[in-house]
Structure 1
Amino acid sequence: MGKDSLPPGTRIGRTALRVDDLGETTAFYRDVVGLETLSESSSRAVLGVSDTPLLVLETDGEVSSRPRESAGLYHNAFRVPSRAALGDALNRIRDRWELEGASDHRVSEALYLSDPEGNGVEIYRDFPRAEWPRGDDGRVQMGTDPLDLDAVASAAAGESGVPAGTDVGHVHLEVRSLEAFSSFFVDTVGFEQQTTVRGATFVSAGGYHHHLGANTWQRRSAPATGTGLAWFEVVLPDGDALEALRERLAASEYEPTAIDGALAVTGPDGIEVRFRAEE
């Protein structure tokens, strides 16, 4: 780990979406994904698990739809702690929604779907870290293999929602330039590159397979705007790590501002990232 790398223990916190139909989108994340509604008003809903907020949905009735050419969210990835919980998620999707894809990534098992407004959603569970394949340089090597859906479904425990321990494992973005993404998130913020594939890169802290993914598969050509990803949160393990990051950001072209105890920065694709220390 380099001196400017983010420390182990860094993780993804909350993510926030601008939505058009708050009621319908809230119901999806509650009934299909399996999150609890922690608070709700006419313009905002917060969902999570065991009183831990994971997803914020916001609307003001005036947000236009995300243009096809704009950067933004590829998917939010909710990580469940067991194959049983993944089996329960698969059964909820089959009963109430539409499964769009499923993969064994050699580090995880993942289900893919879209919410009512077209935002990508992944629900996944990790294999034990000791089983992750790594290259000679120690970096994680992911793949994309078929997932045995029957085996996943048969592991289900019959729970109606996601269990305690569920979190946002990673966020995957659609960006205009992988070089600009890496310049900001690796060179300035301090994530470490783990895996690259054609048109995509995956970065993390502490040797995780990825906390952030980025791809240019859809050739987005404009900054993020409209509905979709409003911001996402990176949580650092302590105040010292946050202060070191603040100094790196202050020395870069990306000037941080203070929002609710966090450092907010608008990155190279117009996507807001909020950095805060663990409470």
Structure 2
Amino acid sequence: MRVSTHDIVGGAPAAQPALPGSYGAPPPGYRLPASTRLGAVRLQVSHLDRSLAWYQEVLGMELLGAQGDARSLGVRGAIEPLVVLEYRPGTRPIRSSSRLGLYHVAILLPDRPALGRFVHHLAQRGVRAGASDHLVSEALYLHDPDGLGIEVYRDRPRSEWQRLGTELMMATDPFDAAGVAEAAADAPWQGMPSGTVVGHVHLHVGNLARASAFYSEAVGFDRIVWRYPGALFLGAGGYHHHLGVNSWALGAPVPHADDARLLEWRLVIDEPARALESARAAGFEVSGALAVDPWGTAVRITATGNG
């Protein structure tokens, strides 16, 4: 079944090209700069060797560094990691969407051929994945050994994005598996390619209005898509979303200290003090470089993305 902003507004006004500056609702005060990007995410896991094997063998990440019970993984030869896995004794796996906090971490590949190579790789390993076409992107969905959500996706060129009024069009449409696989042109998967980044983070929250108050009005994200059922997508610089929040796990508890979970995600911007002060002035918890949302999810706001 197709779910999109188009369905919600009944097709009026007509879809138009999403030219720069033609869509999105900026916050009333501080606004994140167009150069905003995400850095490494830190995940708490229950079994370090098992998680390392999965992130290396299934996702194709390379081990970049080790410190105590933490391991940094990312693109071969990179300085900045994509993911930092942290083992804490007593941690237990979770069921998908059974906690507020992480819905998924989304790894952005540089192009469609790379996603095609990843499709072939999963098939060869017998790994099953969910898949969707979101109009602005094509995505695969997996869960790591602890039940933490992982998306691997590619973006369509911005010249192909469309808007309805000032809202960017996104959808959950069928995935063109054959077309994506064909784009690989028989080239083998050789791990996460150069140019791979953390594209976005998607969170389960307890209240969308409260999430908007924190992430848009306080931290400074633009609201990009706001009529998608049960979800809000926020970004900076016109990106379709650096952050998704949804109410699809209403009634679920916040993560326990012993749950596998997202420990923090990283927002990389110029002049991070301005965003931190904006969150503090709005009455939210700020400690050093960490701003904490109403459900305990921490975002580290810094001028560097190194883990």
TM-score using structure 1 length: 0.91
Aligned to 2:212: 182
Aligned to 1:5: 31
> Does the 8 Å CA contact 2:93/2:145 hold for their aligned counterparts?
no
> Does the 8 Å CA contact 2:285/2:293 hold for their aligned counterparts?
no
Structure 1 residues 113-132: aligned runs within 5 Å: 113-132=142-161
> Does the 8 Å CA contact 2:148/2:260 hold for their aligned counterparts?
no
Aligned to 1:199: 230
> Does the 8 Å CA contact 2:94/2:146 hold for their aligned counterparts?
no
Q: Deviations over 1:96-123 (max 9, x none)?
A: 2533311111101111111111111110
SS at match of 1:4: coil
SS at match of 1:256: strand
Which residue of 40, 51, 74 maps to 1:14? 40
Which residue of 70, 85, 98 maps to 1:57? 85
Higher relative contact order (CA 8 A, sep 6+): 2
2:163 matches 1:134: yes
Q: Deviations over 1:165-220 (max 9, x none)?
A: 10010001111111111110011001111113111111111111011111111224
Aligned to 1:23: 49
> Does the 8 Å CA contact 1:174/1:220 hold for their aligned counterparts?
no
Structure 1 runs, 4 residues or longer, greater than 3 Å off: 64-69
Cα distance, 1:243 vs structure 2:
2.3
Identity across matched positions, percent: 41
Structure 1 residues 85-234: aligned runs within 5 Å: 85-137=114-166, 139-156=167-184, 157-196=187-226, 197-225=228-256, 226-234=259-267
The count of aligned residue pairs is: 271
One-letter amino acid of the structure 2 residue matched with residue 141 of structure 1? M
SS at match of 1:8: coil
Separation (CA, whole Å) in 1 of partners of 2:252 and 2:217? 23
Separation (CA, whole Å) in 1 of partners of 2:93 and 2:133? 32
One-letter amino acid of the structure 2 residue matched with residue 136 of structure 1? G
Higher mean C-alpha deviation, range 44-53 or range 249-258: 249-258
TM-score using structure 2 length: 0.83
Cα gap change, 1:227/1:55 in structure 2, threshold over 3 Å: closer, same or farther?
same
Tell me, which stretches of 5 or more residues in structure 2 are unaligned? 1-25
Aligned to 2:64: 38
